[in-house]
Structure 1
Amino acid sequence: MKSQTLVKVLGVFLLAVIAPLVLLAVGQTRTTNRLPQAKNRPASANTDDYKISGPYTHNNLAVFLIHGKDKLAGKTFLTLQEALKQRKVIVYETKNVNELAIENLSRYEEVYVQSGDIVKGGQQDRMLGVDLVVPPRSGKISIAAFCVEQGRWQKRGNEESTHFSSSTERVATRELKIAANKTKSQGEVWSKVAEAQSKLSANVGMRVNNTASDSSFQLTLENRQVRETADAYVRALAHIADKHADVLGYAFAINGKINSADVYAANALFRKLWPSLLKASAVEAITELQKNQKFDPVSRNEVGAFLDDAEAGAATEKDVTKRIQMITRESKVNILLETRDRSASGPWLHRSYIKK
């Protein structure tokens, strides 16, 4: 009898001690689960999503490939270059320096436009200021732009003044990207174009400004000496992604310093854009060329840390269209521009990382 009483007493004692502890633990677990996540923060860190290979180097340019899971399997886009060449899209001059209009004429194909693409012609050459997906039979859609040719405001040669004939080049230099995407200053864009032209002239051994339009960055990129010098970089590095079906993007360093990175939701989209991306990186490497200088190599871990830091930055949102949203993240030293397509299954379409 005494033993039964003792057991009951012990049972009551244990229940009194353990029950509050269990409730406390459950309460703590629920509180943890309710902690808010950063708005639009990627679900996992960069190092969980990507594998980085490289560096692959030529002169002062080091390229890293970024591997990951394809988020848009089976979905394809025409690039702006392809669509203009096939006459499936028209980019219209609006006579507003910082705004153009674009129309997709095709019946079925979507057109992917990337911030930094240069369109040639019109009243002035422009660089497009945002990423955009233009649906089939879109009608005219406004798109932000920056002039990369100061002074001209008339037809040039045999080009059309009412629309733009081609898009074969991208803006080169980190400073130009920052001017267009962070400060959004037309004056700063012109200043950085002139600075790039001056550096290119010094490093290729001839004046690269074209007499047809002295300030045109497009015509500078068409300069024979610039093309030949950039082609040496392209020939050395163009093949590096050929054997990898999981490459989604790349990062690059110039003179031993991380510069930028671009990552896409699909391997097919990256492969279409790779030639123009690599050429732009090559042109920037030529711009910053320091002959006979040696640099400490950048490591894959440093590239991963660069991507992670940019992704952790404070976020702001902007609707480009009803379909396309731009998320800008900025840390003390890096910027991430993330393009989201609300109609796609993946969380993002393109990420552009820029070292300040």
Structure 2
Amino acid sequence: MKISPVLAFALLLTFSACRQETRKTPESAEPTGLALRTQASPELEYENLRLYPITADAAYIEKNAAAAEYKNLGEAIGNPRFRITEKKPFGRFEDQGAVNTLTVQNKSEDMVFLMAGDVIQGGKQDRVIAQDLVVPPRTITDLAVFCVEPHRWQAREQETPAAAEDPRQSEKNKRIYAFTGYYNVATNDIRRSATQSKNQQAVWDEVGKVTAVHNAQTSTGAYAALEQSESFTQARARYLSFFGDKFDRSEDVVGVVAVTGDEVIGMDIFAHPALFKKQYKALLHSYVTDALTGGAPASMEEAAMKRYEERAFRKFGEEDGLENEKYEFQGLMVHFVDL
């Protein structure tokens, strides 16, 4: 049977369209292995803060099993074989690069995860870490930071209680300007200024705003001066008590979305449930401080959260342009943040 040229051309177009559609479908339907629970739960809401858990399937968790062994900064800072110090200015009296760069020395056998937003105390001035970084065992590396204590540039007269237990170690820490304290995770505005605008004045401005709201200003202008505000610390304690153990027994939660009023404060996703649990309580300080500083009772509707889920997960799946949002190490997506 002969096929007319017109019919042959029509069949060719149909076949071509089918092939094109076949190529598109896997890309658009490619699963991430993650799911966001978009329905609000009273168990995850207190006053100005509501959390939405992000869960991972078994394949996602198994693929990222190596991240379960990472230590976080809160664990590593007390190990004498892990140290963060001021970067030597190589003979120059002043070196701006040394202010925004610290030296990390990991003599331990642990992989240590440092998260952008972690606040460290000590050195010549407290800093907020400005990049996600996994520090392998037996390595020395630079670490990008910004100052969160603008009016100090000398060693502390008094170290944190844990660091001051050994007088000889305390004196050595002062001599090398070591960082011996960990102050959880900074507010999301500070995190955003440190990782996205990368502007020191912007970081200082945000530090000044949050400490002023809570009447926690000190002579050095430190972010950690929040501890001097009794009203703030008491309110924070109530939030931490409510939320602190919510995910202790979960085996598939790898992140959360935090909401105050009708706005998303931020989303944080980690490679593994174990890494999320290690970082969660420190991260909670960030969300709680935001809720106490400029928050309102959570009112976001489920439909709005579903729209956010679609946008955020689409962003999560992108390959390029996420150097400030997605951190990967040795093939693992260690941490994703949307602020």
> Is 1:189 aligned to residue 203 of structure 2?
yes
Displacement of 1:34 in angstroms is 6.6
Tell me if structure 2 keeps the 8 A contact 1:265–1:349.
yes
Change (3 A) 1:143 1:152: same
Residues 1:245 and 2:251 are matched in the alignment: yes
The structure with the largest strand share of the pair is: 1
Once the two structures are superposed, residues 295-325 of structure 1 have per-residue CA deviations (whole angstroms, 9 ceiling, x without a partner) of 56213442342243245468755xxxxxxxx
- Contact 1:54/1:65 (<8 A) preserved: no
Counterpart of 2:164 in structure 1 is none
> Alignment identity in percent?
23
* Aligned equivalents of 1:43, 1:158: Cα separation in 2: 57
Shift of 1:214: 3.6
Q: Is the 8 A contact 2:49 2:298 kept in 1?
A: no
Partner of residue 54, structure 1? 40
> Would you say the 8 A contact 1:200–1:286 is kept in 2?
no
Q: Which amino acid aligns with 1:77?
A: Y
d(CA) in 1 for partners of 2:291, 2:210: 11
Residue in 2 that maps onto 1:276: 282
CA distance in 1 between partners of 2:29 and 2:76 (Å): 34
Instruction: Give the 3 Å change call, closer, same or farther, for CA 168–191 of structure 1 in structure 2.
Output: closer
The residue aligned with 1:65 is 53
Taking structure 2 as the reference length, the TM-score comes to 0.80
List runs of 5+ in structure 2 lacking aligned partners.
90-97, 160-172
1:73-222 to 2 correspondences below 5 Å: 73=65, 75-94=68-87, 96-107=98-109, 109-138=110-139, 140-159=140-159, 160-161=173-174, 162-172=177-187, 174-201=188-215, 208-210=216-218, 213-221=219-227
Match of 1:190, as an amino acid? W
Q: What SS does the corresponding residue of 2:144 show, helix, strand or coil? A: strand
Q: 1:51 to 1:316 in 2, by over 3 A?
A: closer
Contact 2:211/2:225, CA 8 A, preserved across alignment: no
Q: Deviations over 1:134-164 (max 9, x none)?
A: 00101x2011100001121111213344110
**Segments ≥4 residues shifted beyond 6 Å:** none
Amino acid at match of 1:297: S
Tell me the secondary structure at the aligned position of residue 323 of structure 2.
strand
Which of the pair is proportionally richer in helix? 2
Which residue number corresponds to residue 170 of structure 2? none
User: Contact 1:170/1:277 (CA < 8 Å) preserved in 2?
Assistant: yes
**TM-score, reference length from structure 1:** 0.77
State the SS of the aligned residue for 2:266: strand
Task: Work out whether residues 50 and 298 of structure 2, in 8 Å CA contact, stay in contact via their aligned partners in 1.
Answer: no
- Decide whether the 8 Å contact of 2:271 with 2:335 is kept in 1: yes
Question: Highest relative contact order (Cα 8 Å, sep 6+), 1 or 2?
Answer: 2
Report Cα offsets for 1:14-48 as digits up to 9, x if no partner.
x655543332233334455677x9xxx997477x7
Instruction: List per-residue Cα deviations over 1:67-107 (Å, max 9, x = no partner).
Output: 12224125410101101112231101126221111111113
Q: How does 1:276-295 map to 2 (within 5 A)?
A: 276-289=282-295, 295=297
AA aligned opposite 2:323: I
Q: Secondary structure at the match of 1:275?
A: helix
Name the CA distance, whole Å, in 2 between partners of 1:90 and 1:151. 24
Q: Secondary structure at the match of 2:278?
A: helix
Q: Helix, strand or coil for the counterpart of 2:80?
A: coil
Contact between 1:65 and 1:250, CA under 8 Å: does it hold in 2?
yes
Amino acid in structure 2 at the alignment position of 1:90: R
C-alpha displacement of 1:353:
0.8
Q: What residue ranges of structure 1 are gaps of 5+ in the alignment?
A: 1-10, 202-207, 318-325, 329-336
Deviation at 1:264, TM superposition (A): 0.7
Aligned residue runs from structure 1 range 295-314, under 5 A: 295=297, 297-312=299-314
1:255 aligned partner, one-letter code: G
Take 1:186 and 1:42, find their aligned partners in 2: how far apart are those partners? 40
User: What amino acid maps onto 1:305 in structure 2?
Assistant: R
The residue aligned with 1:254 is 260
Counterpart contact for 1:114–1:128, Cα < 8 Å: yes
Pair 227,316 (structure 1): closer, same or farther in 2 beyond 3 Å: same
Residues 43 and 285 of structure 1: CA distance in aligned 2, closer, same or farther (over 3 Å): same
CA distance in 1, matches of 2:233, 2:335: 27
- 8 Å Cα contact 2:84/2:179 also seen in 1: yes
What's 2:335 paired with? 350
Residues of 1 paired with 2:48 and 2:261: CA distance? 5
- Larger-gyration structure (1/2): 1
Whether 2:339 is the aligned partner of 1:339: answer: no
Q: Give the whole-Å Cα distance in 1 for the aligned partners of 2:29 and 2:199.
A: 33
8 A Cα contact 2:260 2:298, kept in partner? no
